[in-house]
Structure 1
Amino acid sequence: MEKNSWADQWDNSNHTSGKTSDDGKSSGGASGKYKEKVEAGLGKTKAVASSGLNKVKTGTSLGLNWIKDKYNKTTTKKN
């Protein structure tokens, strides 16, 4: 009975490289599933960041317009 050494058990030279195939999916088995989950998470993160950025833009615009209106009201009262 031949025993494999620790290095032979963890040697990745005989396995697929994990590079993507023609359809864009990873061929790495478990790493492919992990990659799909990460991509899905990044898609959700991108959507949340985009909607958050739009809210910040809208809030900033409303805030600046409010300040501009207050400034115009004070300057017209003095005249």
Structure 2
Amino acid sequence: MGSKDDAPTWADQWGSGDNGSLKRAGGNGSSINAKADKKTVTGNVKAAASEGFIKAKAAALVGAQKVKSGTSSGIKWVKEQYQKRTSK
């Protein structure tokens, strides 16, 4: 069995955490990373919003088609009922 000193540390196993993802603005070049991260987040939010808009638009189109067909069939029914009464 190895000693405690031979075992890898948590940082060795999972990374030290200094990969630039947690850098704060205002350091050596870190503001560039922060801006790039912000643009990436903004791009992701815009993409998600765009997908949501596309889905909402498709749902609205389907709903509008249902309303249109329902209205059309309703008007036809009313016309038929009127013609039945006037033809007697």
Q: TM-score range by the shorter chain?
A: 0.5 to 0.7
Matched length: 56
Q: Which structure shows the bigger proportion of residues in helix conformation?
A: 2
> Mind listing any 5+ residue stretches in structure 1 that lack a counterpart?
1-7, 17-26
- Per-residue deviation, 1:31: 0.7
Q: Equivalents in 2 of 1:46, 1:65: separation in Å? A: 28
CA distance in 2, matches of 1:53, 1:43: 15
Please identify the structure whose Cα radius of gyration is greater. Answer: 2
Give 1:29's aligned residue: 40
Structure 2 length-normalised TM:
0.57
**Higher RCO (C-alpha 8 Å, min separation 6):** 1
* Superposition misfits of 4+ residues, deviation over 3 angstroms: none
Give the one of 66, 70, 85 matched to 1:59: 70
State the alpha-carbon separation in 2 of the partners of residues 61 and 33 from structure 1: 42
Gaps of 5+ in 2: 1-24, 27-31
Per-residue displacement from partner, 1:20-51 (whole Å, max 9, x unpaired)? xxxxxxx8211110000000000000100000
TM-score for both structures, normalised by structure 1: 0.63
Percent identity, please. Answer: 38
